[in-house]
Amino acid sequence: MYATFQFDLVTPEKQVLSQDEVMLTVPGAEGYFGVLPGHAPLVTLLTMGVLTVGEGKEAVRYAISGGYAEVLPERTTVLADRVVCWDAIDPAAVGAEKMEAAGRYAATREEESASRYWKKRERFADVCLDLHKQYLARSSS
């Protein structure tokens, strides 16, 4: 049995993480699932949600806006569309983005692909704000 596995978190713009990891919690398309070393091979779509890297108190959480994950016994790769680490969330900026996205969503209601895009941005902003609250709660406790 392996003690750790290789974990890569990449977005189209950069490689966010590449390290040995002991545990992940991943927002799969059919529900959150955990990944431990030696997990059965799995390819899955991800939904918008929170990716937890590590276990217990040291866990770091990331808001991701969807993507794919490929899980192999000794290697897991998460291809995410957008990633924000929970200590990098600026509530003011995210709030502004949410307002903008909501406005654009209302304006582009007829155009299907554009409105879907802005709706997604709006929801992502929500996830970020939520995660920020969790971060604050964790730091204060």
Residues in touch with other proteins (CB under 8 A): 8, 10-15, 28-30, 40-45, 68, 70-73, 77, 79, 81-82, 113-114, 117
CB of 44 to other proteins, least distance (A): 4
Q: Which is nearer to other proteins, 47 or 135 (CB)?
A: 47
Q: Which is nearer to other proteins, 59 or 123 (CB)?
A: 123
Q: Which is nearer to other proteins, 10 or 23 (CB)?
A: 10
CB of 107 to other proteins, least distance (A): 15
Q: Write phi, then psi, for 68 (nearest 5 degrees).
A: -135, 155
Distance CA(123)–CA(126), nearest Å, equals 5
CB of 58 to other proteins, least distance (A): 25
The 8 Å CB, 24+ separation contacts for 105-112 are: none
Residue whose structure tokens are 């969790």: 134
**91 Cβ contact partners less than 8 Å away, ≥ 6 residues apart:** 129, 132
